[in-house]
């Protein structure tokens, strides 16, 4: 499947759509999910075009997961979460709605289920 350069996250990367950016390095960007299913719900994306895991290079996967790990530690410490749930969807049939690779980092709190 092709990469659409006008998908929402590509537009966030270009600064065309506002977002709450929480972390950035040479290869990745993290920002708050607009409809958080947990307090501190983040999305981590590569800065280079990539539709999803099925389309990703090993370098893109490594960069995204490095940031996911770093921010998982950070949100647990900053927000007092007891754990994190990671979610990642590929293609519409796999539950993907925005077609730029992203990993959800969902901080988890004792006794609190994820919001729908």
Q: Which is nearer to ligand 5GP, 69 or 87 (CB)?
A: 87
Q: Which listed residue (2, 26, 97, 110) binds ligand 5GP by CB under 6 A?
A: 97
> How crowded is the C-beta side of 36, counted as CA atoms within 13 Å?
13
Q: Taking CB under 6 A as the rule, does residue 98 contact ligand 5GP?
A: yes
- Residues found in the chain: 116
Q: Taking CB under 6 A as the rule, does residue 74 contact ligand 5GP?
A: no
Which value, in Å, is the radius of gyration of the alpha carbons in the chain?
14
Decide if 100 is catalytic.
Answer: no
Least separation in angstroms between residue 115's CB and ligand 5GP is: 11
Q: Taking CB under 6 A as the rule, does residue 92 contact ligand 5GP?
A: no
Positions in 30-69 near ligand 5GP (CB under 6 A)? 31-35
Count of residues near ligand 5GP by CB under 6 A: 14
């Amino acid at each position: 499947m092709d990469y659409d350069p006008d998908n929402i996250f590509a537009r966030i990367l270009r600064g065309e759509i506002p977002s709450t950016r929480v972390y950035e390095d040479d290869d990745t960007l993290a920002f708050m999910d607009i409809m958080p299913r947990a307090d501190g719900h983040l999305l981590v994306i590569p800065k280079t075009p990539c539709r999803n895991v099925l389309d990703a290079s090993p370098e893109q996967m490594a960069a995204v997961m490095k940031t996911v790990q770093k921010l998982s530690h950070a949100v647990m410490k900053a927000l007092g979460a007891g754990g994190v749930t990671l979610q990642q969807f590929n293609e519409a049939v796999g539950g993907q709605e925005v077609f730029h690779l992203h990993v959800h980092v969902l901080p988890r709190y004792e006794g609190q289920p994820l919001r729908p």
